[in-house]
Amino acid sequence: MKHIPGILAYSFEFSQMKVRSKDELENLKKIKEFDPVKEAIPNHKKDDKKPPPQVKPICLIMGYMYNIIEKEHL
C-alpha cells in the first residue's frame, strides 16, 4: 500500500510536477517530515535506470490521504 504513491509519481502527469516557489518548497518539507510520507518516498540509486521520482506528487498524495494538508499549504 505504501508503494502506490511512488508508482503514481512515475506517471507522465505527476512526473511533470515541479516545485515553483520557495513557499511551496517549505510546505512540502513540512509534509515530508510526517513518518508515513517518509516511508512512501522510494530510495533512488545512482545506477538505477529509472529517473528519480518527483517528491512533490508523493507528498501531495500522502498529505491528502492522511489529512495533513492544511489551508495554508494550498
Q: How remote is the C-alpha of 71 from its chain's centroid?
A: 18
Predicted confidence (pLDDT) at residue 74 exceeds the cutoff of 70: no
pTM: 0.74
Q: Could you give the CA distance from residue 71 to residue 47 in angstroms, rounded to a whole number? A: 39
Average pLDDT over residues 51-69: 84
- How far lies 7's CA from each of 27, 52, 55, 57, 73, in Å? 22, 12, 12, 10, 23
Residue type at position 39: E
Bigger pLDDT: 1 or 56? 56
